[in-house]
Amino acid sequence: MTIITTILAFLVVLIPLIIIHEFGHYLAARLVGVRVEQFSIGFPPRIVGKRWGETEYLISWIPLGGYVRLFGQNLEDEDANDPRNYAAKSILQRFFILVAGPAANLLTALLVMPLVYMLGVDTPAYHFQPALVATISEGSAAEQAGLRSGDRVVRVGSDDAVTWADVYGLIESAAVSGNDIDFALEREGLPVSVHVPVAAFLSDEPFGWRPLIEPVAGFVAPGTPAEEAGMLPGDRIMDINGVPIDRWDQISQEIQKTKGQSLPVTVNRNGMVLPLEILPQYREENKRWLIGISPAMVEQKYGPIDSVIRGTQRLGTITVATFGFLGNMFTGNVSMDQVGGPVKIATFIEKAAGTSLASLALMVALISLQLGILNLLPIPALDGGHITYFLLPELVKGAPLSPRLRAHIQTVGITVLMLFMIFVTYNDILDLL
């Protein structure tokens, strides 16, 4: 039943995004007067087809994409003298047709992401608690700036900061403006001022402070050591292996020390002190021993304007991260095990659908964004490849590449793309076994 649910969730999310992408191409082609011969959801072989007007609409068996077949886009039917032919259109018009599909996906992501914030996003509960610093990493920018464990942030710049949410929001505003930040702190009852260069928050390296988070289990994942031992959400961890626990980051520290040995854990549950015995589990992807708990979260909803701002900012951050990841992948600085294919995506969608509507909307926005970005890559079988290898040479030298060379480029591109899809799907299946 889980496999069926996963497949259905995958299709319910992916098929509309494929339709949106192909409709972008379809609409652009119609606007510039190119005849659309086929509009297919999925790749051949076909399941069913129906002709309306001059276009045949298809549903095909392989639901990993789709295509719009334009009159004149194939070598055998090019005719620069026919006004309805793709080959007869200007470079700008053909460029418009090619980018319209990815643009439709990017626009969808821009429209859906604000819904995530309006529906409500899970935010760590400590964001709404006093801005107390638990620890400072040795050698970090926070230590160099003069911050210390136990400090309480009371003001950022000229604005009061009561909670960590206030602190993060004010830091983000300062970072956007490019201004250095002055923190007013309370340290052992005395006022202290600290000046931090804004570059410290823009660096790839963590700033180096850890908020004080109460050692209370907010979520206990099903099937994990903590659940099997009887831990419940709301349990406050008092000690692990006899070591008193006062803050969240101590939990992981003590778990790693045991190297997978069974742990005696004492929790406070609604005033009752209970002993538990937990056997940590090693997770290869995390390179850590885990028991399956996470801090408390609260649902935070935002108004329409704030949601649009936050959604746009988040898409911008994800876009930059995506290009960074792609750059590292092509230079060999990223393991291919980190690349997910359709099976892994389907698993993520199924989990998101079972969590909340906001989580599902977030997944839709992220997949739509990735579809838009990936289709613009200069790979011959993709839209970006058509722009790079077919339109650019024509723009530079005033004539298209020879039909023979274009056919070879397209064949190589499709082959490489199919081999890559087979590889990542194989990796996905191995991860599930």
Per-residue pLDDT tens over the stretch 19-33: 999 999 999 999 999
Beta bridge partners of 43: 62
Angle at the Cα of 19 from the Cα atoms of 329 and 411, rounded to 5 degrees: 50
Cα distance between residue 104 and residue 407, in whole Å: 28
Amino acid at 313: Q
- Backbone dihedral region for residue 196 (phi beyond 0: left; psi -120 to 50: alpha; all else: beta): beta
Residue 338 has a pLDDT of: 54
Residues 95-148 have pLDDT tens digits of: 999 999 999 999 999 999 999 999 988 888 899 999 999 999 999 999 999 999
**For residue 44, what are its two tokens?**
């051949």
pLDDT, tens digit, 9 for 90 and up, residues 252-267: 889 998 877 899 999 9
Q: What is the mean pLDDT of residues 393-398?
A: 76
Poorest-pLDDT segment among 304-308, 353-357, 372-376 = 353-357
State what percent of residues in the chain have pLDDT above 70.
86
Question: Residue 424: what pLDDT?
Answer: 57
Most confident of 171-175, 350-354, 401-405: 171-175
Lowest-pLDDT range of 54-63, 145-154, 342-351: 342-351
Q: Are residues 19 and 64 in the same domain?
A: yes
Q: Is the pLDDT of residue 202 over 60?
A: yes
Verify whether residue 172 is a known catalytic residue. Answer: no
- d(CA 354, CA 47) in angstroms, rounded, equals 30
Say whether both 106 and 21 belong to one domain.
Answer: yes
Host domain of residue 372: 2-118+366-432
Which residue bears the tokens 């746009």?
A: 312
| 321 within domain boundaries | no
In which band, very low, low, confident or very high, does the pLDDT at 299 lie, cut at 50, 70 and 90?
confident
264 found inside a domain: yes
Scanning 39-186, the segments in alpha helix (DSSP H) are 91-119, 141-145, 164-177
Which band of pLDDT confidence, cut at 50, 70 and 90, is reported for residue 318?
A: confident
Chain-centre distance for alpha carbon 134: 29
Whole-angstrom distance, CA of residue 353 vs CA of residue 204? 32
Short-list 344, 363, 319, 358, CA closest to 431: 344
Low-confidence winner among 98-107, 136-145, 214-223, 346-355 (lowest mean pLDDT): 346-355
According to the model, what pLDDT value does residue 5 have? 64
pTM of the complete model beyond 0.85: no
**1 pLDDT band (50/70/90 cuts)?**
very low
- Cα–Cα–Cα angle for 4, 370, 172, rounded to 5 degrees: 120
Both 96 and 135 in one domain: the answer is no
In a shared domain, residues 21 and 105: yes
Query: Is pLDDT larger for residue 203 or for residue 146?
Result: 146
Contact 151, 140 (CB under 8 A): no
CATH number, domain containing residue 254: 2.30.42.10
Give the pLDDT confidence score for residue 297 in this predicted structure: 85
pLDDT digits (tens, 9 = 90+) for 399-416: 777 777 777 777 777 777
- Asked, for residue 317, whether it belongs to a domain, the answer is no
Question: Half-sphere exposure (CA, 13 Å, Cβ side) for 133?
Answer: 23
**Claim to verify: residue 77 and residue 140 sit in the same structural domain:** no
Query: Is residue 346, in this structure, part of any structural domain at all?
Result: no
Q: What angle do CA 22, 400, 69 make, to 5 degrees?
A: 25
Instruction: Give the domain-ending residue among 191, 211, 231.
Output: 211
Q: Indicate the residue among 299, 334, 354 that finishes a domain.
A: 299
Percentage of the chain lying above the pLDDT 90 cut: 45
| Structure-block tokens of residue 387 | 């722009």
Count up the domains in the chain and report the number: 3
Same domain, 110 and 7: yes
Strand 297-300 versus strand 121-124 pairing type: antiparallel
Domain final residue, candidates 211, 238, 268: 211
| pLDDT, the chain, mean | 84
For residues 111 and 6, membership in a common domain is answered with yes
Looking at the DSSP bridge assignments, the partners of residue 221 are: none
Per-residue pLDDT, 164: 93
Q: Say if 310 falls within a structural domain.
A: no
196 plus 258 within the same structural domain: no
- Residue 189 within a domain: yes
Pairing label, strands 55-70, 281-283:
unpaired
Assigned domain for 328 exists: no
Name which residue leads in pLDDT, 224 or 417.
224
Residues 161 and 236 in one domain: no
Q: Token match 């970072």: residue?
A: 175
For 34-87, write each residue's pLDDT tens digit. 999 999 998 888 899 999 989 999 999 887 788 899 998 877 788 888 999 998
Q: Is residue 345 part of a domain?
A: no
Which residues, 6+ apart, have CB-to-CB distance to 94 below 8 Å?
86, 391
353-361: long-range pairs with CB below 8 Å, 24+: 353/9, 353/12, 353/13, 356/119, 356/120, 356/122, 357/119, 358/115, 358/116, 358/119, 358/120, 358/121, 358/122, 360/13, 361/112, 361/113, 361/115, 361/116, 361/119
Query: Distance between CA atoms of 20 and 37, rounded to whole angstroms?
Result: 18
Answer yes or no: do 384 and 408 share one domain.
yes
